[in-house]
């Protein structure tokens, strides 16, 4: 409770008075006894006068009685005024006096019974701390007591937001920034103490106007709770109760400075530099050293952990360096949190308390905002690195586009939170700033029209997915491999290794030809053979090529064309029209080469020669009759025999291929030189040669 904290701050607490207070009470008791003796003497004298007076002088007796009553009332008032002499010279003393009296009434601290007379006395002290003159509270005691109880409950509920030490600081009371002067009065706001506290309670109470607790100084230089505070005490308590603003239960250690000072030499406690005690300067140096140790510990921990990750999960050295780079701010953040926590336990925080301490804590809060933002930024990079590594092992490419976009989104969010925290550390009110941004948003939207279009273009790419990272695309005149899809633009790496940046807003309207989405890759060419190739050879050759297509590991088997198609200038042209089902261009080239070599081997086996552009000059001799020998008419089985011959030749070629045992995978490009084994004669050794020789034998 609030009074528990106050007791620790005063050494004795609000509920227990010091020895000086006890002596004052004894003096007041002696004075009361003397007054009572005078009262008895005056009463006896009046009775004597009454007894001696004749019956006709009753009016004189009544007048004397009235004077006695007036004297009695005057003595009672003087007695009450003497008992109510309280110290209201400073705002802090007024608050302490008020809470001391209410502590005794409620028994929350002493837990002792209090009689009606003492209870009434403490109620009068509490009322004396409030400005009731000229109000209903001056004549209606019950109403004034109720207001005191409500105000006491309110102070208990906001105890952790009050700074009692500042109210006794003479420099604070003389600072015009904190005291409102006007209409011949001076006042000080006890709650809320600053704009940050105002904003905090606006959110807690869901209101735009937080009730104030104000102390006002009268002409007698006494500080009292002003009329407005007394009148709204009940409504404040109701508001705080509705929103569950409760005091923290149990004692709360807010500072261990007194305990430390009790164990230190006096010169360290009493000596100061820049209004900071010597022992506190030494403490700052010690805390800096401990913070550096914490930072070093975090770096060693991250280094050892990353090495274990490399061994267990096969991480690359680049990933290890990324982890070290990303984890560096974590140690700095841990050190900063340790610093501010330790300083809060040993320093009194607040601009009103000490300017040097205020600057120290404000700088530390800004440092935490900066290093915290950097830590969150690096943490996003760290998580994105692991997710990207995992995404590369998946077959889908959607995550390859999503992860970079999510990384940038979280980074923008981190920066926004960092700015808000830094503004709060500087005491800047965020609500007016957000309101001004809302008003200026219309103008900003026009100025950032292209940026907004690009952003929604990236969203369209993410949702519609016209291409993925790694796809070969043709967008208008830009052709290449998609490298990155960002918030503003998409980057394409061309085949001549330049990079093209396309604004995402253009992608919404552009024509996108995605070669990467092809299921089959077409190959159309002509196989030119010489004119002296016989029809049987042509049939055998074309059917053999078809068999090669049917048995190839990566060709499409349900649609292909191999036919004699044209009579060329110097060759017979055979159309080869096939499709490869391969994942990428590199694999397509490899499998095209495989089919090409098989066709060459087939032609050699069948005695078919490929043609090349030639020109043969023939001189016509009219005197010599040309003798023409017509070819034999084909039999019914001629063509079938040729087809069987071609198929058999193709099967004989395919039978020894290594891919018959295991289908080759995608092409893997390595930058390292090929390691070729040589025999004693310096000739390359092929591992499959021994198997081939064994089969021949």
What is the span of the domain harbouring residue 500?
A: 451-516
Examine the domain organization and report whether 559 and 569 are in the same domain: yes
Examine the domain organization and report whether 334 and 197 are in the same domain: no
The answer to whether the CB of 674 falls within 8 A of the CB of 575 is no
Examine the domain organization and report whether 562 and 511 are in the same domain: no
Residue 542: what pLDDT? 92
Examine the domain organization and report whether 419 and 530 are in the same domain: no
Examine the domain organization and report whether 415 and 455 are in the same domain: no
Examine the domain organization and report whether 319 and 199 are in the same domain: no
Q: Evaluate whether residue 689 is within a structural domain.
A: no
Examine the domain organization and report whether 212 and 337 are in the same domain: no
Examine the domain organization and report whether 492 and 413 are in the same domain: no
| pLDDT above 90 as % of the chain | 8
The CA distances from residue 139 to 119, 132, 134, 136, 151, in Å, are 19, 9, 9, 6, 19
Q: Among 469, 488, 516, which residue terminates a domain?
A: 516
Examine the domain organization and report whether 91 and 180 are in the same domain: yes
Determine the Cα–Cα distance for residues 452 and 508; give it in Å rounded to an integer: 13
User: Higher confidence at residue 501 or residue 617?
Assistant: 501
Residue 593: what pLDDT? 92
Q: Evaluate whether residue 268 is within a structural domain.
A: no
Q: Evaluate whether residue 669 is within a structural domain.
A: no
Examine the domain organization and report whether 103 and 235 are in the same domain: yes
- Phi, psi (rounded to 5 degrees) for 232: -100, 10
Determine the Cα–Cα distance for residues 520 and 3; give it in Å rounded to an integer: 82
Residue 603: what pLDDT? 92
Residue (of 530, 560, 555, 518) closest to 543 by Cα position: 560
Residue 524: what pLDDT? 93
Examine the domain organization and report whether 167 and 152 are in the same domain: yes
Residue 5: what pLDDT? 38
Examine the domain organization and report whether 500 and 526 are in the same domain: no
What domain count does the chain have? 4
Residue 2: what pLDDT? 41
pTM for the model stands at 0.40
Determine the Cα–Cα distance for residues 613 and 280; give it in Å rounded to an integer: 98
The answer to whether the CB of 230 falls within 8 A of the CB of 132 is yes
Residue 69: what pLDDT? 57
* Predicted confidence (pLDDT) per residue in 392-432, tens digit: 777 666 666 677 778 778 888 888 888 877 776 666 666 66
- Range 314-331 average pLDDT: 69
Determine the Cα–Cα distance for residues 689 and 680; give it in Å rounded to an integer: 16
For the beta sheet containing 213-217, the strands, ordered from the edge strand earlier in sequence to the opposite edge, are 179-182, 185-191, 213-217, 223-225
Q: Among 462, 489, 516, which residue terminates a domain?
A: 516
Residue 6 scores a pLDDT above 50: no
Residue 629: what pLDDT? 64
Residue 51: what pLDDT? 47
Q: Evaluate whether residue 77 is within a structural domain.
A: yes
* Predicted confidence (pLDDT) per residue in 41-78, tens digit: 444 444 444 444 444 455 656 666 666 555 565 555 55
Q: Evaluate whether residue 31 is within a structural domain.
A: yes
Q: Among 373, 396, 428, which residue terminates a domain?
A: 428
């Amino acid at each position: 409770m609030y009074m528990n904290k106050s007791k620790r701050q005063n050494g004795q607490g609000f509920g227990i008075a010091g020895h000086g207070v006890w002596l004052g009470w004894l003096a007041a008791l002696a004075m009361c006894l003397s007054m009572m003796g005078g009262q008895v003497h005056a009463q006896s004298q009046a009775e004597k006068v009454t007894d001696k007076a004749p019956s006709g002088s009753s009016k004189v007796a009544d007048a004397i009685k009235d004077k006695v009553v007036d004297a009695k009332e005057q003595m009672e008032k003087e007695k009450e005024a003497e008992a109510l002499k309280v110290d209201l010279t400073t705002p802090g003393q007024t608050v302490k006096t008020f809470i001391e009296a209410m502590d005794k009434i409620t028994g929350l601290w002493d837990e002792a019974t209090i009689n009606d007379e003492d209870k009434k006395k403490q109620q009068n002290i509490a009322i004396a701390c409030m400005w009731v003159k000229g109000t209903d509270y001056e004549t209606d005691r019950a109403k004034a007591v109720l207001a005191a109880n409500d105000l006491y409950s309110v102070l208990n509920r906001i105890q952790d937001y009050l700074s009692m030490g500042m109210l006794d600081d003479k420099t604070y009371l003389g600072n015009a920034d904190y005291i409102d002067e006007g209409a011949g009065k001076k006042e000080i706001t006890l709650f809320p103490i600053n704009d940050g506290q105002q904003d905090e309670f606006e959110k807690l109470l869901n209101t735009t106007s937080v009730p104030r607790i104000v102390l006002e100084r009268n002409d007698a230089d006494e500080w009292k709770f002003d009329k407005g505070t007394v009148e709204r005490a009940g409504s404040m308590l109701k508001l705080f109760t509705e929103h569950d603003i409760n005091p923290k239960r149990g004692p709360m250690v807010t500072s261990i400075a007194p305990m430390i000072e009790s164990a230190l030499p006096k010169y360290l406690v009493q000596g100061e530099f820049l209004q900071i005690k010597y022992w506190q300067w030494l403490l700052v140096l010690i805390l800096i050293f401990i913070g550096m140790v914490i930072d070093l510990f975090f770096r060693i921990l991250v280094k050892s952990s990353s090495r274990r990750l490399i061994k267990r999960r096969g991480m690359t050295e680049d990933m290890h360096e990324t982890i070290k780079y990303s984890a560096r701010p974590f140690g700095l953040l841990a050190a900063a949190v340790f610093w501010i926590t330790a300083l809060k336990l040993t320093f009194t925080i607040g601009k009103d308390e000490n300017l040097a301490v205020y600057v120290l804590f404000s700088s530390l809060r800004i440092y935490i905002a900066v290093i915290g933002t950097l830590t969150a930024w690096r943490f996003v990079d760290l998580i994105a690195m692991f997710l990207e590594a995992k995404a590369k092992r998946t077959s889908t490419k959607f995550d390859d586009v999503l992860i970079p976009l999510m990384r940038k989104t979280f980074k923008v969010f981190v920066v926004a939170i960092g700015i808000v925290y830094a503004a709060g550390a500087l005491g800047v009110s965020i609500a007016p700033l957000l309101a001004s941004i809302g008003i200026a948003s219309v103008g900003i939207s026009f100025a950032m029209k292209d940026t907004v279009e690009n952003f929604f273009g990236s969203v369209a790419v993410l949702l519609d997915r016209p291409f993925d990272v790694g796809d070969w695309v043709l967008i208008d005149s830009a052709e290449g491999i998609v490298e990155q899809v960002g918030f503003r633009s998409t980057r394409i790496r061309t085949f001549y290794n330049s990079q093209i940046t396309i604004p995402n807003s253009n992608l919404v309207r552009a024509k996108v030809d995605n070669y990467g989405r092809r299921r089959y890759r077409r190959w159309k060419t002509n196989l030119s053979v010489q004119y002296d190739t016989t029809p049987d050879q042509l049939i055998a050759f074309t059917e053999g090529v078809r068999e090669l297509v049917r048995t190839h590991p990566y060709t499409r088997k349900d649609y292909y064309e191999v036919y004699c198609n044209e009579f060329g200038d110097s060759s017979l042209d055979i159309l080869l029209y096939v499709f490869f089902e391969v994942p990428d261009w590199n694999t397509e080239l490899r499998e095209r080469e495989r089919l090409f070599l098989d066709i060459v081997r087939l032609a050699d086996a069948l005695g078919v020669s490929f043609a090349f552009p030639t020109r043969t000059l023939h001189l016509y001799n009219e005197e010599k009759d040309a003798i023409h020998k017509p070819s034999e008419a084909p039999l019914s089985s001629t063509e079938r025999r040729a087809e069987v011959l071609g198929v058999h030749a193709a099967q004989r070629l395919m039978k020894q291929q290594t891919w018959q045992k295991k289908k080759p995978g995608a092409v893997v490009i390595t930058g390292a030189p090929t390691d070729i084994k040589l025999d004693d004669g310096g000739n390359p050794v092929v591992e499959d040669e021994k198997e081939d020789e064994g089969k021949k034998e």
